[in-house]
Amino acid sequence: MTHKLHNFILTLTIALAVPMMVQADNGLPVFTELAAKAGKAVVFISTERTTTGGDGQAELFRQQVPEGHPFREFFDRFDKFFGQPQGQPRKQLGQGSGFVITPEGMIVTNNHVINGADKVTVRFQNDKATYEAEVVGADQETDLAVLKIKIGHKLPTLALGNSDAIQVGEWVLAIGNPFGLDNTVTAGIISAKHRIIGAGPFDNFLQTDASINPGNSGGPLLNMQGEVIGINTAINAAAENIGFAIPSSQAKKIIAQLQQGKVVQRGWLGVTIQRVSDTQAKALGLPETTGALIASVGKGHPADKGGVKQGDVILEVNGHKIADNNELLQRIAGLAPGDKARLVLWRSGKRVKKTVILGQRGEKTMASMAPEMQKPKEAKAVLGMALKSITDQEAKALGLETTQGLLVVSVDPNAAAGAEGIRQGDVVIQANQQDVNTVKELEGVIQRDKKRGAVMLLIKRQGKNSFVALPLD
């Protein structure tokens, strides 16, 4: 190879490796090239859905205003001149963002952007034309959806990158349509990873300070190579510049299934799980606070068939260490029904290995794990809770110093106990400052103090005590 040819190849290689982001003289990044190229693949999404009746909040307020009150007359006059007759259909408009992933017109967005829509249209940057989109597939649990448009020519696309490789502090770019202002670009950094915000069962968000607002939902969060490392999904309305994006590494498998119009399939163990507290780790003899504690095992479900027991702690799945209950949920859901999950359990102070052939997560399997289906025979319903005397094994697993109290097996979400935050796995220690170790003792306290109209329960949860008052009516 000649010296000149070698230099040419080296120069070409370096040129191809240059990222789309460049630096200004002051060392700060310049996003112009990245924004211009990536923006061509970002779309503005508009939706229409048909609803009946007027505004729900306004109607609720009206119902609380008595007849003859001046405000009631105001509402009646407003409806007469401006409102919709009750029960008549009306159009409700929505908007969001998305990005193209195939030249043929496959588009990724959030499920909540298009959920329930009768009509979905998209529009590109600097293009006044609108294109009607077909919803190919949607997944509520991860808030992802895939659309399809037919446009007659190849489209610019964005590639899904490796979000696992992105580091806290790296620059990112968000493109979307906040408040209907199409093709808006904002820049920031990755503020944190693996955020759990209570949005769904598979929370694992990237947090960014790149400004994200209503209308950005479904738009891309890009690294400096122009790869999508997140799908912008949620914001903290009470804060400034705190946004959350679904990691691309988590979304890839879901999007691949949705592209084919398939129902997303996820693995299923058939257990209820909870985080291991420091106190529980000590009680169980765990060397460190890690893993997911099995609160219950559904009879006949995969875990039950595989030999998993209540009180076990799952430490590993297929060689991957499990930090907590959220990671276990994501690892299992990332496997397919029929896959083998090789588990390492902590049981009676020892590591135990079990292999479970996974079932399929879905509405039916979730329903089969509902409290009504898993109540032990000895459990009895009191105040909207299914309760039973706690066993030595359960007390040890829950980190109780002594075997005392009543274990909450399930809670009716429509009863006062559910409304006051009592949940499965709690232990009722006292009622009106009297120890209760049997359901009969609790019923005795309730009967004795019925005239008070309420009972004060002392609840122990993850080693901490709290009082909860429940009405007796």
Read off the CATH number of the domain in which 278 is found.
Answer: 2.30.42.10
153 falls within a domain: no
> How much is the pLDDT for 450?
83
Q: Are both 300 and 359 inside the same structural domain?
A: yes
Q: How far apart are CA 95 and CA 126, in angstroms?
A: 17
In a shared domain, residues 315 and 339: yes
Same domain, 16 and 58: no
CB atoms within 10 A of CB 21: 20
Q: Are residues 27 and 49 in the same domain?
A: no
List the catalytic residue out of 46, 163, 211, 217.
Answer: 217
342 with 319, same domain: the answer is: yes
- How far is the CA of 300 from the CAs of 355, 366, 367, 369, 371, in angstroms? 15, 13, 14, 11, 15
pLDDT at 4: 45
Rounded Cα distance, 111 and 97, in Å: 11
Dihedral of CA atoms 322, 325, 326, 328 in degrees, nearest 10, equals: 50
The pLDDT tens digits along the chain (473 residues) read 444 444 433 333 333 333 455 555 556 788 999 999 999 999 999 999 886 554 444 444 444 444 444 444 544 554 544 454 555 677 788 899 999 999 999 999 999 999 989 999 999 988 889 999 999 999 988 899 999 999 889 999 999 999 999 999 999 999 999 888 888 999 999 999 988 887 777 788 999 999 888 889 999 999 999 999 999 998 876 777 789 999 999 999 899 999 988 888 889 898 888 888 887 788 788 899 999 988 888 888 999 999 999 889 999 999 999 998 888 988 998 888 999 999 999 998 899 999 999 998 865 555 555 444 334 445 678 888 889 888 887 777 677 778 889 998 888 877 888 888 888 888 998 988 789 999 999 999 988 888 877 788 888 887 777 778 888 86
First to last CA, the chain: 91
Reference 412, options 445, 382, 391; nearest CA is: 382
Q: Cα–Cα distance between 96 and 222 in angstroms, integer?
A: 17
Residues 6 or more apart from 66 whose CB is under 8 A from it? 72
- Given 112, 163, 248, 410, which residue is catalytic? 112
From residue 162, alpha-carbon distances to 174, 230, 231, 325, 344 in Å are 16, 9, 12, 24, 28
Same-domain check for residues 45 and 32: no
Q: Clarify whether residues 34 and 46 are in a common domain.
A: no
Specify the residue for token string 């988590």: 250
Nearest to 234 by CA among 196, 266, 188, 187: 196
Confidence (pLDDT) at 265: 84
- The rounded distance, in Å, linking the Cα atoms of 325 and 290 is 9
Residues 47 and 144 in one domain: yes
In a domain, 338, yes or no: yes
Among 259, 279, 314, where does a domain finish? 259
Q: Is 68 exposed, middle or buried (0-12, 13-18, 19+ CB in 10 A)?
A: exposed
Show which of 234, 259, 284 is a domain's final residue: 259
Distance in angstroms (rounded) separating the CA atoms of residues 458 and 419:
16
Tell me if 406 is assigned to some domain: yes
Same domain, residue pair 416 and 355: no
Q: Are residues 20 and 76 in the same domain?
A: no
Are residue 210 and residue 119 in the same domain, yes or no? Answer: no
Q: Does the active-site annotation cover 217?
A: yes
Inside any domain, residue 245: yes
Ordered alpha helix ranges (H), 276-432 = 278-284, 302-305, 325-333, 363-368, 371-374, 392-397, 416-419
Q: Which of 305, 339, 368 is the last residue of a domain?
A: 368
**Domain assignment of residue 28, yes or no:** yes
H/E stretch holding 156 reads: none
Annotated active-site residue in 97, 139, 143, 301 = 143
Q: Which two tokens stand for residue 388?
A: 């039973």
Which tokens sit at 350? Answer: 């020892």
CATH code of the domain containing 92: 2.40.10.10
pLDDT of residue 79: 52
Residue 291 lies in a domain: yes
Whether 156 maps to a domain, the answer reads no
State residue 433's pLDDT score.
79
**Beta-carbon neighbour count of residue 312 at 10 Å?**
24
- What local confidence, expressed as pLDDT, does residue 52 receive? 59
Q: Does residue 9 sit in helix, strand or coil?
A: helix
| DSSP-derived pairing of the beta strands 320-321 and 22-23 | unpaired
Question: Environment class of residue 275 by beta-carbon count within 10 Å: exposed (0-12), middle (13-18) or buried (19+)?
Answer: middle
Instruction: Give the residue numbers spanning the domain of 234.
Output: 163-259
- Specify if 48 maps to a domain: yes
Q: Are 142 and 110 in contact (CB under 8 A)?
A: no
- Which residue has tokens 């909540």? 112
143 is catalytic: yes
Q: Are residues 133 and 64 in the same domain?
A: yes
Q: DSSP letter string over 416-453?
A: HHHHTT--TT-EEEEETTEE--SHHHHHHHHHHTGGGS
Tell me the CA distances in angstroms from 9 to 18, 199, 225, one per residue in order.
15, 50, 22
In the block, tokens 């420091």 appear at 278
Residue type for 190, please? I
Structural domains counted in the chain: 5
